[in-house]
Structure 1
């Protein structure tokens, strides 16, 4: 089923920050942020066991379990099983470093087999305090976590998670499944398979104002051919496009800071907010079904909603392209 037929709007809420990404936030602040999203009309929520070893799911579930279940769409991910055992070592998250060092102390089992997929879903349902999931993403079977071993993890998921999720979709237990990754290659490989196909994918950080060329070259034409939709995760490139200092989950390098400065000069000249430019750019591609920025403060949700509705003059997009700040091949809102 097309994601565009499942998702209730073009703005969702990505809950990685609720897993204490980068910093510890109080439970009250996390709950208030989810409530703010609901009050702003957001009805699509995305989470994962990986986000703080279940902390994000727990916090999201505490709020959403009090809402009518038929009024929102919920997605989580498989590939990490949260164990009861406490982690004694510093977890190795590949390129992502100490991303969730402030999350729950539970050990994570990183596994994409059929059995682990079933366990992962069972655990997520309990933490989210719900009886069903709408969309399930196969999480992080890519180079950024596994280096050269990512092909092995992909194969584990192909013969495990992919088949379980295809069955659950066919049985009507879930509405859709796909990949939730930070790299394009695993999605390209999945779309090339003859086996049961995904309904869509959540691509984080690879279709933003700062990084979109690679996705445009191969992935998105292939996705369009097959009628597979994209949810854009990380539209602010880990925060650098929203006033933060992180890019790709690390401190932003000098060349990125310089590029953001050029973007800010252009937005200032046209009286446009950089958040609005970022969100509307990510949604302009025909394959984009929704964008899911994350937040840990209630005020950020209102900013995201306003950014989506902000009127951006066509001259801004023309100047953006003329300045070489976006790919010539990137669809822009004023092209429609």
Structure 2
């Protein structure tokens, strides 16, 4: 599989999004989680993204277990800081689940926002313990929307310190918006941003400011949520499809159906174009796709590898909706 670079780190163009290994929306067995990672490895995927938030650390533990026997220099793992996990054994003992956050796991911990130096240092240490690694290839500030002041000062400074020590290879921020990511690029010494849902066929707001600025500052971009949480994930767009984790508006449904029709006319499928679209920009290092099962992995790889005709790209690029 082709690779691109993030600072000194090399990532595969297709990345494994491990949120679903944290029982996002429904439970996954340890065996199925390992099988998904094994299949990703067999398909040539060497970039894996996780976070403490995903299943209260379950995703990190499962990912670390699945990669434990692989040569450490042969793969890249990113995780995130900003949500510390605080023990709450009494809630777990009472049978409380963490499903309010979307993850079907016992509420063994609660999340606490913390972008302070101590919070970031503790978060990375805990992540490395759960993964079973001695270093983290990429660390992102996770969803700092309401925490700009602390995240952009003590949070970034702590990650820079860890980068200087070699504990972390590359640092950045990951968010569901483009404007604050552009501010991080403009004002902070970071290597990469992960933009979720704002660099898709349907929502291209990251192209307005973030991508040009990142190219100017030599900051890499990783694209996530390229299906906009479902709307672009099927060849035929459903009227009850989701956009950004809620029912898609009639306007977005119509726009997605227009995109699907362009693909059908050109002999390709909407999800294939959705996965490949961000990679048309050389500043985008990788597209991270959520994967739960070996079938998900194979499907994502087929979409990444499929041929999208030039005529489809011309029409899709011209069909700007947002």
Counterparts of 1:234-249 in structure 2, within 5 Å, are 234-243=225-234, 245-249=241-245
Residues 1:281 and 2:273 aligned together: no
Report the counterpart of residue 48 of structure 1 in structure 2.
51
Contact 1:263/1:325 (8 A) holds in 2: no
Deviation at 1:88, TM superposition (A): 4.9
**Alignment partners' CA distance in 1, 2:186 and 2:153:** 15
In 1, Cα distance between the equivalents of 2:321 and 2:312? 12
1:66/1:256 Cα in 2 relative to 1: closer, same or farther (>3 Å)?
same
- Distance in 2 (CA, whole Å) between partners of 1:276 and 1:87 is 46
**CA 1:140 to 1:87, structure 2 compared with 1: closer, same or farther past 3 Å?**
farther
1:202 pairs, out of 194, 206, 220, with 194
* Residue 219 of structure 2 corresponds to residue 228 of structure 1: yes
2:6 is the alignment partner of 1:3: yes
Inter-CA distance 104–178: structure 2 relative to 1 (3 Å threshold): farther
- 2:120 matches 1:120: no
Q: SS at the partner of 2:11?
A: coil
Q: Residues 22-41 of structure 1 correspond to what in structure 2 (within 5 A)?
A: 22-41=25-44
Indicate the residue corresponding to 2:17 in structure 1: 14
Aligned to 2:287: 291
Q: Is the 8 A contact 1:22 1:99 kept in 2?
A: no
Residue 54 of structure 2 contacts residue 103 of structure 2 at CA under 8 Å; is this kept in 1?
Answer: no
Contact 2:140 2:171 in 1 (8 A): yes
Q: Deviations over 1:67-92 (max 9, x none)?
A: 11111001100001112214859x9x
Instruction: Give the SS at the match of 1:241.
Output: coil
Runs of 5+ in structure 1 lacking a partner? 143-149, 328-336
CA contact (8 A) 1:87 1:107 kept: no
CA contact (8 A) 2:60 2:131 kept: yes
Residue-by-residue CA offset, 1:228-276 (whole Å, 9 max, x unaligned): 1101111111122113833212232322222222222222222202221
Find the partner of 2:175 among 181, 190, 207: 181
Alignment CA distance shift 1:319-1:157 (3 Å): closer
- Give the Å deviation of 1:300: 1.5
User: Is the contact made by 1:55 and 1:104 (CA closer than 8 Å) also made in structure 2?
Assistant: no
Q: Is the 8 A contact 2:14 2:47 kept in 1?
A: yes
Q: In the TM superposition, what is the alpha-carbon distance from 1:100 to its structure 2 partner? A: 2.2
User: Higher strand proportion, which one?
Assistant: 2
Q: Which residue of 2 aligns with 1:316?
A: 312
C-alpha deviations, 1:37-73, integer Å up to 9, x for none? 1111100001000111111111111101121111100
Q: Give the TM-score of the pair, scaled to structure 2.
A: 0.89
Q: 1:181 touches 1:202 (CA, 8 Å); kept in 2?
A: yes
Aligned partners of 1:133 and 1:87: how far apart in 2?
31
Q: Alpha-carbon deviations, 1:196-234, whole Å to 9, x = none?
A: x1001111111011111x211111111111111101111
Q: CA deviation at 1:104?
A: 4.1
Indicate which of 232, 257, 263 corresponds to 2:259: 263
Report the equivalent of 2:132.
129
Q: CA deviation at 1:5?
A: 4.7
2:153 pairs with 1:159 = yes
Match of 1:333 in 2: none
Query: Partners in 2 of 1:182 and 1:326 — Cα distance?
Result: 18
Report deviation, 1:298.
0.9
User: Structure 2 unaligned runs (5+)?
Assistant: none
